[in-house]
């Protein structure tokens, strides 16, 4: 028996916005936006289709905005971090300083004047005696192409015999230039007096100088010192305490309690609790592996970990010789008023001639005449509010036209008044 189908209620044509209706609605919407429907009233079905399309488009746009905001929130924000290798040094792993004395020969008349630097002649005579050449006692060689020099070098850790290092050569006499000179073989000694390297080679000078017969001269950079790349050969190694057993000690380049704690936490997080502990603000002790042969790989893995260092203390560094002032970003100033002016003292001397009257039997004499003036220029006063930042300080100082020396005086006065919340370092 066939069951009759239930008749579905027919939906109004206005309830189903077809493609044609959508296109017509878009056309109608465009006309409405342009200023009307050409004077004709749109049918009700078309108005409802327009409203339905606008609502759907609004929901789509809102959904896209929400998705974009969620994607931005899901992007991880990477924090600034440094490797432990860049923040610390391993205790016992250090460089050693070397020093030596030698002769640079082959100069183009710019060497030591032996009358004023007799040690140059003495060094040359001692060298010639080693080659079997005896200089007469009454002979005084006048050298112009030789110079006595001091040789310095830094011996890196773990350097083996046969490797080469750079050396610096500096004149200790009155040589004008070492350009074009050749350093003769010279031993380099450590603080214990032992020879650790032998230096020899051509000197590379970064400066230039020229002098005329009238005495005028011109000079660019320093010509009395130079370098010899790979100029010394290592002959002896320096004993190191690394690899002798025991725990490893990491010394921070810049002591900071926060950085030391974070280094210890990073090592413990990567290799287990108790692996490292912060001894103080400048050292972190790391447990060494049971197998001494794994100590190098173990330390290399630890140095590769990244740690976010602590914020550096607020500091103002002043170089009184060059007038350079470096102000950290965290420097703050309490409420203070500063008045600064430059005092200038001008003294001018103008001698006067005192002429006696006729037939007075007096003598003509020169009478000194001095003119002293004191002036105070640029007397400005400006006020700092509480918690003023670096930008405000620099802007205020620039507005009054203070020079670097004036800025140094202002910073020192603020420090003495207790208004500068930073370390004032004068170098």
Residue 260 lies in a domain: yes
Q: Are residues 421 and 325 in the same domain?
A: yes
Q: Is 286 inside any structural domain?
A: yes
Residues 25 and 141 in one domain: no
Look at residue 5 and tell me whether its pLDDT is greater than 90. no
Give the closest residue to 263 by CA, choosing from 43, 339, 252: 252
pLDDT the model gives residue 77:
46
Structure confidence at residue 345 (pLDDT): 54
pLDDT over 80 (residue 406): no
Per-residue pLDDT, 25: 47
pLDDT, tens digit, for every residue of 203-224? 999 877 766 766 666 767 788 8
Q: Which of 133, 126, 167 is CA-nearest to residue 150?
A: 167
According to DSSP, the residues that pair with 318 across neighbouring strands are 325, 426
Question: Would you say 53 and 46 are in contact if contact means Cβ atoms under 8 Å apart?
Answer: no
48 lies in a domain?
A: yes
Q: Indicate whether 277 belongs to any domain.
A: yes
What percentage of residues in the chain have a pLDDT greater than 90? 28
For the segment 56-97, what is each residue's pLDDT rounded down to a tens digit? 666 656 566 656 555 554 544 445 688 999 999 998 888 999
- Do 301 and 323 sit in the same domain of this protein? no
Q: What is the mean pLDDT of the chain?
A: 77
User: Helix 390-399 vs helix 404-417: angle between axes, to the nearest 10 degrees?
Assistant: 130
Give me the number of domains the chain comprises.
4
Which one-letter DSSP state was computed for residue 169? E
What pLDDT score does 421 carry?
Answer: 80
Neighbours of 253 (CB within 10 A): 12
Q: Based on the fold, state whether residues 202 and 274 are members of the same structural domain.
A: no
Task: Provide DSSP, 396-419.
Answer: HHHHTT--HHHHHHHHHHHHHHT-
**230 within a domain of the structure (yes/no):** yes
State pLDDT tens for residues 229-259.
Answer: 999 999 999 888 777 777 889 999 989 999 9
Residues 261, 293: one domain? yes
Q: Helix count (H) and strand count (E) of the chain?
A: 8, 23
User: Which tokens go with 216?
Assistant: 């005028």
Rounded Cα distance between 138 and 135, Å, is 9
Which pLDDT score is estimated for 348? 67
Sequence-separated (6 or more) residues with CB below 8 Å from residue 311: 258, 330
pLDDT digits (tens, 9 = 90+) for 272-292: 898 999 999 999 999 988 888
Q: Are residues 142 and 60 in the same domain?
A: no
C-beta of residue 122 within 8 angstroms of C-beta of residue 147: no
Q: Decide if 29 is inside a domain.
A: yes
Whether residues 103 and 226 share a domain: the answer is yes
pLDDT exceeds 50 at position 38: no
**What domain range is 289 assigned to?**
248-307
Residues 44 and 169 in one domain: no
103 pLDDT more than 50: yes
Residue 74 lies in a domain: no
């Amino acid at each position: 028996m066939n069951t009759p189908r239930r008749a579905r209620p027919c939906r109004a044509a206005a309830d189903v916005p077809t493609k044609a209706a959508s296109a017509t609605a878009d056309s109608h919407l465009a006309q409405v936006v342009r200023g009307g429907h050409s004077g004709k009233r749109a049918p009700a079905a078309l108005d409802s289709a327009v409203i339905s399309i606008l609502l759907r488009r609004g929901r789509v746009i809102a959904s896209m905005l929400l998705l974009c905001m969620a994607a931005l929130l899901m992007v991880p924000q990477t924090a600034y971090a440094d490797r432990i290798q860049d923040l610390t040094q391993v205790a016992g792993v250090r460089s050693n300083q070397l020093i030596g004395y030698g002769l640079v020969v082959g100069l183009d008349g710019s060497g030591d004047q032996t009358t004023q630097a007799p040690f140059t002649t003495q060094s040359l005579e001692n060298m010639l005696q080693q080659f079997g050449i005896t200089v007469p006692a009454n002979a005084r060689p006048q050298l112009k192409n030789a110079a006595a020099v001091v040789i310095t070098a830094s011996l890196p850790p773990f350097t083996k015999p046969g490797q080469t290092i750079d050396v610096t050569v500096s004149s200790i006499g009155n040589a004008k230039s070492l350009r074009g000179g050749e350093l003769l073989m010279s031993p380099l000694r450590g603080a214990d007096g032992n020879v650790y390297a032998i230096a020899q080679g051509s000197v590379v000078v970064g400066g230039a100088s020229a002098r005329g017969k009238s005495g005028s001269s011109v000079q660019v950079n320093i010509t009395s010192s130079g370098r010899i790349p790979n100029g010394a050969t290592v002959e002896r190694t320096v004993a190191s305490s690394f690899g002798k057993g025991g725990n490893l000690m990491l010394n921070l380049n810049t002591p900071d309690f926060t950085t030391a704690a974070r280094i210890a936490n990073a090592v413990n997080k990567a290799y287990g609790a108790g692996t490292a502990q912060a001894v103080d603000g400048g050292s972190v002790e790391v447990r060494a592996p049971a197998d001494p042969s794994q100590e190098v790989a173990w330390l290399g893995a630890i140095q590769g970990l990244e740690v976010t260092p602590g914020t550096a203390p607020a500091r103002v560094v002043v170089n009184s010789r060059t007038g350079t002032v470096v102000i950290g970003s965290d420097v703050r100033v309490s409420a203070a008023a500063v008045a600064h002016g430059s005092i200038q003292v001008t003294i001018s001397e103008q001698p006067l001639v005192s002429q006696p009257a006729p037939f007075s039997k007096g003598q003509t004499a020169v009478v000194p005449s001095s003119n002293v003036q004191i002036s105070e220029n640029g007397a400005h006063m400006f006020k700092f509010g509480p918690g003023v930042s670096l930008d405000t300080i620099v802007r205020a100082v620039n507005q009054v036209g203070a020079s670097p020396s004036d800025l140094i005086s202002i910073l020192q006065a603020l420090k003495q008044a207790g208004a500068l919340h930073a370390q004032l370092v004068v170098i």
